Amino acid sequence: MHEQLAKFAYNGQWADLTALLRHKPDLVNNAGPGKGYTPLHQAAWHGADLSLVGALLKAGASRNLCTTEGRNAYDIAQARHPKREELHYLLAPSRRSLSQLLRKLIAEHPALFSDYDGNQILCERLISCLSETWVPPTREETLDIIAHQTQELEARINAAVYTVTGLPLSSDGTACLQISKTISFEASMHFVQGILLPALRPLISKSDQIPLEPHWTVLADLFAPAPDQWGLRGDLFLWMELRQTLCNCPLPDPTIPGWQDHIRTRLEAAILTLTGINIRTGQDILVPRYQRGGTSSGMVSSIFWHQTIVPLLTQRAGWLQHSWSCRNS
């Protein structure tokens, strides 16, 4: 079986490969003889279609695994296919944030919550609070390091819960989440300790094998990785603020006509909301809160955002949709 998998991947026999993985999904990260190429490494070597790459990622292929030469799939794709930006984007070694893992958990386990459940409101606030808390890759680490990383992440969840509710997890109490003078919801520390954390731990342990998925991806997820170059000094800080702002905005339905235009319009509206800048004007505008010193400090380039960044984010959405097309085939 292992030999068959390695042969199919080496020869680019993708139909045979995916058929085999449907029966033996645990082989998806199996390294072949010699250089230790996994099917994802071979897909990168061949410059496979995004739908095939998406199928491997869906099956649990890790973008962080390296060959015996120390190269991951992204390195191979860059060397073999330097102009395939869409392939580089899908194969870039990634980490998942706790916010992303929470979104996945909630999307896939709606039975966690009852009607008008305060625990769900707590989780939604934690999603915003933990959007910058990244889970490190763990596949090639020792068990001791993995255990330490898990404890550290849970300590940060504990801190986030205290930030949102004012109660430590150890209190085993109930927090009142006030919405208005007359409306409040109750969130249980027992829910976090006894239900949420146990359900989250398996996702943390395999976070490097979890790709972006259509049922929980939001616009903010398009922002990783960040560009290597910027127009003006304020552009980086707009990027960071925009990513945080869009952490609860789902991608539009791709079956809707003009869905990519809809993404562009939403991004432009978010920029206008945050900065007062209409990027279609082509003007460079000062945003005082982005000032950090240096020439052009706090300046945002409308041309850069209009001609480079918004099209890039829109492209990324299209690349993701292409990679997800395997799910319907």
DSSP codes of every residue in 174-219: EEEEESSSS-EEEEEHHHIIIIIHHHHHHHHHTGGG----TTT-BG
Domains and CATH numbers, the chain: 2-91 (1.25.40.20), 96-209 (no CATH), 219-328 (no CATH)
SS3 category, 96: strand
DSSP codes of every residue in 259-278: HHHHHHHHHHHHHHHHH---
Q: For residue 137, what pLDDT is reported?
A: 66
For residues 268 and 281, the answer to whether their CB atoms sit within 8 Å is no
SS3 category, 306: helix
> How do residues 53-69 score in pLDDT, each as one tens digit?
999 999 999 999 999 99
In this structure, what are the phi and psi dihedrals at residue 185, rounded to the nearest 5 degrees? -130, 155
In this structure, what are the phi and psi dihedrals at residue 72, rounded to the nearest 5 degrees? -95, 180
Q: Is the pLDDT of residue 170 over 90?
A: no
Q: Which amino acid is at 71?
A: R
Distance CA 14, CA 39 (A): 9
Q: Is the pLDDT of residue 327 over 70?
A: no
Q: Is the pLDDT of residue 33 over 90?
A: no
Confidence of residue 139 (pLDDT cuts 50, 70, 90): low
Q: Lowest mean pLDDT: which of 223-227, 303-307, 310-314?
A: 223-227
Distance CA 203, CA 101 (A): 7
User: CA of 141: how far to CAs of 52, 137, 149, 171, 200, in Å?
Assistant: 28, 8, 10, 33, 19
Closest by alpha carbon to 174, among 189, 155, 154? 189
Handedness of CA 210, 211, 216, 220 (dihedral sign): positive
Distance CA 219, CA 270 (A): 11
> Average pLDDT in the 13-20 region?
94
Burial (Cβ within 10 Å: 0-12, 13-18, ≥19) of residue 317:
buried
User: CA of 137: how far to CAs of 44, 186, 223, in Å?
Assistant: 20, 35, 19
Taking the alpha carbons at both ends of the chain, their separation in whole angstroms is 24
- Write down the residue that tokens 């997800």 correspond to: 324
Q: For residue 3, what pLDDT is reported?
A: 87
SS3 category, 114: coil
Beta-bridge partner residues of 178: 184
For residues 71 and 37, the answer to whether their CB atoms sit within 8 Å is no
Confidence of residue 328 (pLDDT cuts 50, 70, 90): very low
Q: Is the pLDDT of residue 304 over 60?
A: yes
Which residue stretches of the chain are H helix?
A: 2-11, 14-23, 39-46, 50-58, 73-80, 85-91, 98-108, 118-129, 143-165, 189-191, 197-205, 235-245, 259-275, 302-304, 310-324
For residues 317 and 251, the answer to whether their CB atoms sit within 8 Å is yes
Distance CA 311, CA 315 (A): 6
Q: For residue 171, what pLDDT is reported?
A: 85
Beta-bridge partner residues of 175: 187
